[in-house]
Amino acid sequence: MNKADLVDRIAASSRINKTQAAAAIDTAVDSITAALKKGDRVALIGFGTFSVSQRKARNGRNPQTGATIKIAARRVAKFTAGAELKKAVNRSR
């Protein structure tokens, strides 16, 4: 499923037009992104939790040349699925 498919489903199930559904999705994504930029956690009960994790600097290897390269420390976005989402995914069809 891509963003257009999601917009279609939200518009159909909520009885709003596609423009409003797209605006709602964009607002949700922008809000989650802004919270993560600040270092906050975003918990959607039953769905999951978005958080920021710190990765340490490490050595890597260039697969083409085999040369060792330094990979800088960075912050990464992380998603942990909630209990309801895990249950739904593992339920048989």
pLDDT at 92: 67
Residues 46 and 81 in one domain: yes
Q: Are residues 53 and 86 in the same domain?
A: yes
Q: What CATH number should be reported for the domain holding residue 50?
A: 4.10.520.10
57 and 83 co-located in one domain: yes
Whole-model pTM? 0.81
Q: Left (φ > 0), alpha (ψ -120 to 50) or beta: where does 24 sit?
A: alpha
DSSP state of 56: P
Q: Same domain for 54 and 81?
A: yes
Residue 15 one-letter amino acid? R
Distance of CA 76 to the CA centre of its chain: 11
Report the percentage of the chain scoring pLDDT > 90.
97
Sheet of 42-44, strands arranged across: 42-44, 48-55, 74-81
Q: Which domain holds residue 12?
A: 1-39
Q: Are residues 89 and 48 in the same domain?
A: yes
How confident is the model over 30-60, as pLDDT tens digits? Answer: 999 999 999 999 999 999 999 999 999 999 9
Is 81 in the same domain as 54? yes
Both 78 and 58 in one domain: the answer is yes
